[in-house]
Structure 1
Amino acid sequence: MNIKPLADRVVVKMVESEETTKSGIVLPGSAKEKPQIAEVVAVGPGTVQDGKEVKMEVKVGDKVIISKYSGTEVKFNNEEYTILKQGDILAIVE
């Protein structure tokens, strides 16, 4: 069984952030921010909005930057994913 997003939704898996700063300071769990870089694992087929087709700009495997605290977090097969609308994706990391 897989997660298959509907309409203009995208399933992403958050990329783990480093636990130490560039200067070597180790950050405790409470000091870390929620990561904003994620990898796309599934993409919906797109949608029609105001009579115009909205095509999907991302594809599986893309690394993306998402809005902080966007989407819905789900646990599936002991893995944590976030399901969000394509509009919550800010950029593709190349």
Structure 2
Amino acid sequence: MESFTEKAIKIIKQIPAGKVMTYGQIAKIAGSPRGARQVVRILHSMSQKHKLPWHRVINAKGEIGLKDDLFFIQKMSLESEGVVFISERSISLEKFQYHTEH
């Protein structure tokens, strides 16, 4: 049986370019509905090792939660994939959120 971390990594890897998922959405699909902070930890500690598209994960408000340089890297990465921002930090989840078949 796969661990929560393994499931979360697999889900994150499946987010297509131009789409996003939320921390909570990933946690719920991976089997821990209250595990959004665990998803943050996974992204922080394992993105490089597993080549995760970390920039495609945002908060439940449709906003980038990161600050400073990482904010700009994430925003530019999403914009380069066609994601359009409706304000400085947020996008329309209705338009850009990815839903898996799980």
Bin for the TM-score computed over the shorter chain:
under 0.3
Report which of the two has the higher share of strand: 1
Report which of the two has the higher share of helix: 2
Calculate the TM-score normalised by the size of structure 1: 0.26
- In our comparison, the structure showing a higher alpha carbon Rg is 1
